[in-house]
Structure 1
Amino acid sequence: MTAALQPPLPSHPVLRLRLAPDGPPRSIDGAWWPRSYDLLAELPRLLAGLPREWGHVTNVTVNGATWAAGPGRIFVADQVVRLRRNVAASAPHTVVLLAPGRGRWDLLVVPPDTTEEAAEPLMAAAADAIGGGSPWAPDPIPPG
């Protein structure tokens, strides 16, 4: 019996990010599916994968009830990024990215333990949201 060779695992996991195309303003600019709620591990990967046109993100706001506690700022790619926590019920599954002089982007956060079958349509809907409409119910994760 011969063993099938498996391709090596990537040293850096692929960033699971889907962004809406440039166009009219919208309430959600895309979706991010992190692998954990460890912001110190996940945020550098997210910021490294953003379009260069977005500039340097200096402020990140996450839901404080969802993400693991961390410092008020971290050092990413030779830059300081301020971390803010919000517990607003209106945005429990979002992350807000601010780049001075460039803009603000709100991303849907698909919970890390979501199955691929459930995550894919959420990410597609977030990337396809047009004209400020919201493509999902307040709790984007189906029960069960």
Structure 2
Amino acid sequence: MNAPTGQRASPDRKQPSSLRPARLTLRPPSFPPGPVSGAWWPRSDDLPAELPALIEAFDASWGRVTRLAAHRSAWPQAPCDLPVAGHTVRAAWYTSGFDPHAIRLFAYGVGRRDLLVVPPGIEEATAERLMTAAADPALHLTATALLADASESPGAGDI
């Protein structure tokens, strides 16, 4: 389920040289994309700290991520430029018309990937169910619908 991306810096250090792997699942590439192409489970809501591991996973397997889009309410910090290893990712922030539980990554010349953002503090079993569902080619649910579905499941805890 985890994409190998190196190691992550401890919370008290902000050095990107030791990234923990991004917790990421993706829909198989042989299937057409659905409303989401997979899921990302960040360890916190600090996007500048969490993004480098995610971008490293995509840069290595998909293509250099140059831009992202997200809902403004989803992240406490909303910088327009996010430095990651070797380059900067430009961010576009939306206040409406964009799923607040998704992040969209763009790679120049390759396309885009929309990911469910699993809430950082969610129970592990629920996160695993969400990540599996987001990568399932048979499901065609938006990020918000996946979270709503998981919150109605028995034993979902607080979502």
TM-score bin, normalised by smaller chain:
0.7 to 0.9
**Percent identity among equivalent residues?**
40
Select the residue among 36, 50, 58 that pairs with 1:50: 58
1:101 corresponds in structure 2 to 109
Indicate the structure with greater helix content: 2
Q: 2:24 aligns with which of 17, 31, 39?
A: 17
Unaligned 5+ segments in structure 1 are: 1-9
Instruction: Give 1:14 deviation, angstroms.
Output: 3.2
Tell me the amino acid that sits aligned with residue 107 of structure 1.
Answer: L
- Computed over aligned residues only, the root mean square deviation of the Cα atoms, in angstroms, reads 2.3
| Residue 124 (structure 1) aligns with | 132
Deviations 1:39-92 (A, max 9, x none): 100001110112634211111112210102232102212212101211236511
Q: 1:48 to 1:119 in 2, by over 3 A?
A: same
* Structure with more contact order per residue of length (Cα contacts < 8 Å, sep ≥ 6): 1
Q: Which amino acid aligns with 1:127?
A: A
Q: Which moved more, 1:46-55 or 1:103-112?
A: 46-55
Q: Does the CA-based 8 Å contact 2:117-2:143 persist in structure 1?
A: no
Larger radius of gyration: 1
Which deviates the most, 82-91 or 117-126? Answer: 82-91
Say whether the 8 Å CA contact 2:35–2:142 is kept in structure 1. Answer: no
TM-score after normalising by structure 1: 0.81
5+ unaligned residues in a row in structure 2: which ranges? Answer: 1-9, 11-17, 152-156
Amino acid at match of 1:103: G
**Counterpart in 2 of 1:4?**
none
